[in-house]
Structure 1
Amino acid sequence: MTRLIVAAGGGGDAVAAAMLDAALYGNERPAVILTYAWDRLLIDPVPGPRGPANFTGLRPLTRSVQAVPADARPVAPAGSTLPRLAAELPHTFVLIDPHHGAEGITRQLEELIQQLAPESIDLLDVGGDILARGDEPTLRSPLADALTLAACCQVNARVRLLVAGPGLDGELPADDLRDRMGPPVLMLTAEHVEPVGSVLEWHPSEATAMLAATARGVRGLCVVRDAGLPVPLTDEGPTVHEADLDDALNRNELARALLVTETLDEAEQRSREICGHSEIDYERDKASRLGSRPERKLDPDAALRQLDEFEAEARDRGITHTTFRRITEALGLGGKQRQDLRALLLSSRPEQYQAPLWHISS
């Protein structure tokens, strides 16, 4: 017997799933985590999610499902955090392939359930945009969550929908989510973060980084991603809530429209029609801009001067924290410089590191 956790939205949700698994169930029998290989452009320069054809070394589990072991490798130029997650965490990471739409993900789920006979199935979303209607102006990345929601609602098994860190993805404010969730089922603590602590030192997920930081007691206002969105870090940050799966589907117009999709292109078109955009189009546009920009070398002195300017502007807006991803983008650096920049900041100003966030001193 095992447990199955479906990471609703991508790499960060997979890390949160490992954290949640240890917090809810302990470490004796790590869960199987079904997740997208969908890392943002700092890690994967190719827009959109990766499928099985984008990896070597996958391990077949069923006809439609393949696990990503530690020795799997993304096919260049694609990138993925999943093999490193598999190397550092005891969980089995299984690849969601969205290229056959919600019907394909449903088929994957049904095969996994038949193969594993899991004692529990949790669908986990960090932030709560899985509870969106689809027309909210702040909604930026609804497609992945809507696809997994549509698929989970079609399997012949009980699936529990969990939302961790309401509002922490910077899309739907926590206030807008309160009437869409039940009371907290878990309050994450610093102890719950420890199993994924080393992963958070390199993984680029901002929402899961803020989830971990709030579990460790960090409070304030954090600025994230390329739009510079401010996200409150409050006592609600480390909470995990259960939400009704059917209610979520009935509310989520995009998820309902995706139920019978058979290709990712078809799912994208539904997103354009309902939400006014596809997040993969956004990634395509951004990748095109980044691709035409020469790669900059990291100049330590110039980077620290730029950081001072960035922090001064952030302080004027009441910002107290930021992510290393946001700093990397604000300084005009690429993914290859992110870890070098992080090492520079930790060595030069270690007192500002409130793991895994950067504290903007007053």
Structure 2
Amino acid sequence: MTRLIVAAGGGGDVVAAAMLHAARYGDEDQAVILTYAWDRLLIDPVPGPRSAHDFIGLGTVTPSVRSVPTTARPVAPAGSTLPRLASGLPQTLALLDPSRGAEGVTAQLEELVAHLTPESVDLLDVGGDILARGDEPTLKSPLADALTLAACCRVEVPVRLLVAGPGLDGELPADSLRPLLGPVVHTFTAEDVVPVSSILEWHPSEATGMLAATARGVRGTCEIRDAGLPVPLTHASPRLHEVDPHEALSRNALARALMATTTMGEAEARSREVCGFSEIDYERDKATRTQEQPPVALDAEAVLRRLDQFESGARARGITHTTFRHLTEVLNLNGTQRGALRQLLLSRRPEQYAAPLWRIPDAA
């Protein structure tokens, strides 16, 4: 049997989809994970999602759906984690290309369902911003999730919407999401993380990293993103909830506004109208600022001194953990230095590694 899992926001949702497949369906069933190539600027310096034209070496699944094998490569200067993910996951990765808006995404889904005749279709979101109205002040990146929700509600096959780790993306507080969530269908455990443990050593996803950490028993408050958002890590964090996708659509004003879009530019315009912003505009502005501010060289002793200063302030804010992505940002390093930073810190202070997070030590 084949399972189709749609990673609602791309990026870390792919890793969570692999966890879901192993935990819920086991090794007997094959799986295709349909996902965006939409990495943050630490990985991809080009704002927004990549289309099939931004890659070489993609395979063909259907006329409008391409597979992403290990040998695929993004066309410079773009970057993507998908080929490396393909090398570390047993599932087949297929590219969700939003260049033709929700209508194009719907066509890809319909073709893939007709081709695979899957036993089930799951739409997976880590964090829960897929349940947003669109006007919440804490909402930062609703467009990808809203596009997939709109498309999944257009196809004429049953789609199960699953939300993992409510609140872990730092977009909507877990307390505000709780009344919107359906039953718990699974609680991720340390055993469920094993199939993706090597990927978590390098993948920059913060939400899925926290999902894995909480499945391993980590609790506290984690500071994430460039803005330093505090995210509670609780006993509820590793839970997987089922939600009615049409109820989510009735709440999500952006998803409804995207239903008939035929281009990514049109989808952006709808986001500006409904939410007051487009997250791709934010990425464009940040990319410009990053280019204008060359990063500090990775001098080990200087980095450790800056780390001490950051940790002192984090303790005062009640922070117990952070991500390597956030550390890369606050230490004024760029995405290419993230791996070197991680190696440095694990070699000097391995006792602070709460895989895949970084633990803020108690005051001396």
Interval containing the TM-score (normalised by the shorter chain) = over 0.9
Map 1:177-256; keep pairs closer than 5 Å: 177-256=177-256
1:264-307 deviations in whole A, cap 9, x for unaligned? 00000000011010000000000000011224320000000000
Task: Give the letter for the 2:346 counterpart.
Answer: L
Q: Which whole-Å CA distance do the structure 2 matches of 1:101 and 1:241 have between them?
A: 27
Give yes or no for the alignment of 1:49 onto 2:49. Answer: yes
Deviations along 1:225-266, one digit per CA (max 9) or x if unpaired, are: 000000000001000000011100000000000000000000
Q: Give the match for residue 12 of structure 2.
A: 12
Q: Distance in 1 between matches of 2:25 and 2:50?
A: 30
> 2: CA distance between counterparts of 1:175 and 1:337?
36
The residue number in structure 2 matching 1:347 is 347
> Which amino acid in the other structure matches residue 218 of structure 2?
V
**Identity level (%):** 71
Q: For 1:246 and 1:72, locate their aligned partners in 2 and report how far apart those are by CA, in whole Å.
A: 35
If the length of structure 1 is used for normalisation, what is the TM-score? 0.99
Letter in 2 for 1:235: H
Helix, strand or coil at the partner of 1:9: coil
Structure-2 separation of matches of 1:208 and 1:85? 14
C-alpha offsets along residues 41-64 of structure 1, whole Å, 9 cap, x if unaligned?
A: 000000000000110000011110
- Cα shift at 1:127: 0.3
CA deviations 1:115-147 (Å, max 9, x no partner) are: 000000000000000000000000000000000
1:238-317 equivalences in 2 (<5 Å): 238-317=238-317
CA contact (8 A) 1:22 1:30 kept: no
Aligned-partner Cα distance in 1 for 2:58–2:136: 38
Does the 8 A contact of 2:295 with 2:332 survive in 1? no
* TM-score (ref. length: structure 2): 0.99
CA distance in 2, matches of 1:5, 1:155: 14
What do the CA deviations read for 1:336-357 (whole angstroms, capped 9, x no partner)?
A: 1100000000000000000000
Deviations 1:291-330 (A, max 9, x none): 1122432000000000000000000010000000000000
1:182 Cα shift?
Answer: 1.1
1:131–1:252 CA contact under 8 A, matched in 2: yes
Could you say what the CA RMSD is over the residues aligned between the two structures, in angstroms? 0.6
Q: Which runs of 5+ in 2 are unaligned?
A: none
- Classify the secondary structure of the residue corresponding to 2:76: coil
**Residue aligning to 2:166:** 166
Cα distance in structure 1, aligned partners of 2:216 and 2:80? 27
**How many equivalent residue pairs?**
362
Moved over 6 A (4+): none
Q: What is the distance in 2 between the residues matched to 1:194 and 1:350?
A: 20
Q: Equivalences for 1:90-109 in 2 at 5 Å?
A: 90-109=90-109
